[in-house]
């Protein structure tokens, strides 16, 4: 399932996209917005895989909205203006749909996006047991001991695995898939862009996990309850 949101300042256009999303069984609509500004805070607190974004909107255009995001979900632009197509692909858009949008065109676009960016074939992990993983990176396969992982950072279509006394390793893999291959007793997702090794946590301050004195991992509202439960279970009383 892909978590998605829709953004369009035209009520009828937004209603149409929402109805299309609800027809596809592998899409889950988390929310819809009449402006990009309203979507900003939601994105900071929720794990979104895919956005359907109108380009020509007042206050903040869809294009400027996507450019403003540090680690944006994949985006399919929806617009009535063909001249935005080139600029859309310059911001790494997954696809570009011209209004009026038929359900056939919508479903084909989503299917292409799913196969290209979310297919199980993109998996770069080969799990053997609860002690290590094999990760495919830069045309080679390397073994990573789970105990050496400090935290994992999500970066668009890639993840960066930060290890103890080793250089970070990049892999073409999404956060959801790597989490499925990690033991839940030791690893927890605390933010849409971060998974931490619970055994490596030394300091927590102001809703942030501190690694190496200068690395601060935020704990987002979406994952705060699970992390607090973990703390409560391990807090000395």
Q: What is the pLDDT of residues 142-198, one digit of tens each?
A: 899 999 999 999 986 788 999 998 888 988 888 888 998 899 999 999 998 999 999
Judge if 102 and 180 occupy the same domain. no
Are 187 and 202 in a shared domain?
A: yes
What does DSSP assign to residue 92? Answer: T
* 112 & 7 share domain: yes
Tokens 């403003």 correspond to 68
128 with 75, same domain: the answer is no
Task: Assess whether 71 and 150 both reside in one domain.
Answer: no
As given in the structure block, the two tokens for residue 163 are: 């290890």
Question: Do residues 8 and 109 both lie within one domain?
Answer: yes
113 and 174 assigned to the same domain? no
State whether 202 and 226 are in the same domain. Answer: yes
| CATH for 108 | 3.40.50.2300
Number of domains in the chain: 2
pLDDT tier, 79 (very low <50, low <70, confident <90, very high otherwise) = confident
* Phi/psi of residue 31, nearest 5 degrees: -170, 165
- Report whether the peptide linkage leading into residue 100 is cis, meaning its omega lies within 30 degrees of zero: yes
- CA 134-220-203 angle, 5° bins: 75
CATH number at residue 214: 2.40.50.1020
Q: How many CB atoms lie within 10 A of CB 70?
A: 7
**What's the sign of the alpha-carbon dihedral 199, 205, 209, 214?**
negative
> Is 100 in the same domain as 176?
no
> Do 201 and 111 belong together in one domain?
no
Alpha carbons 170 and 159: distance in angstroms, whole number: 6
Mean pLDDT of 112-116: 87
Here the tokens at position 97 are: 């749909």
With a threshold of 0.85, does the pTM exceed it?
no
Give the mean model confidence (pLDDT) for residues 80-101.
74
Domain limit, last residue, from 69, 103, 118: 118
Q: Residue 11 is part of which domain span?
A: 2-118
Q: What distance in Å separates the CA atoms of residue 153 and residue 223, rounded to the nearest whole number? A: 15
Bridge partner list, 29: 4
Are residues 146 and 96 both part of a single domain?
Answer: no
Separation CA 56–CA 80 (nearest Å): 8
* The token pair that represents 15 in the structure block: 């209603």
pLDDT digits (tens, 9 = 90+) for 124-152: 666 666 789 888 876 678 899 999 999 99
């Amino acid at each position: 399932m892909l978590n998605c949101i829709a953004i369009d300042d035209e009520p009828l256009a937004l209603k149409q996209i929402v109805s299309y999303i609800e027809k596809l069984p592998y899409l889950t609509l988390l929310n819809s917005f009449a402006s990009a500004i309203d979507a900003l805070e939601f994105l900071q607190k929720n794990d979104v895989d895919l956005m359907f974004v109108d380009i020509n909107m007042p206050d903040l255009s869809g294009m400027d909205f996507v450019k403003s995001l540090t680690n944006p979900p994949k985006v399919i632009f929806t617009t009535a203006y063909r001249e935005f197509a080139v600029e859309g692909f310059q911001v790494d858009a997954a696809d570009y749909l011209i209004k009026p949008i038929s359900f056939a065109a919508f479903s084909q676009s989503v299917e292409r996006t799913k196969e290209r960016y979310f297919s199980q074939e993109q998996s770069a992990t080969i799990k053997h047991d609860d002690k290590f993983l094999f990760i495919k990176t830069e045309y080679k396969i390397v073994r990573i001991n789970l105990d050496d992982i400090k935290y994992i950072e999500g970066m668009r279509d890639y993840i960066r695995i930060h290890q103890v006394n080793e250089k970070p390793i990049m892999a073409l893999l999404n956060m959801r898939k790597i989490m499925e291959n990690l033991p839940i007793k030791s690893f927890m997702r605390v933010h849409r862009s971060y998974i931490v090794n619970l055994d490596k946590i030394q300091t927590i301050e102001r809703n942030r996990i501190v690694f190496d004195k200068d690395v601060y991992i935020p704990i987002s509202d979406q994952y705060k309850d699970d992390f607090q439960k973990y703390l409560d279970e391990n807090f000395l009383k």
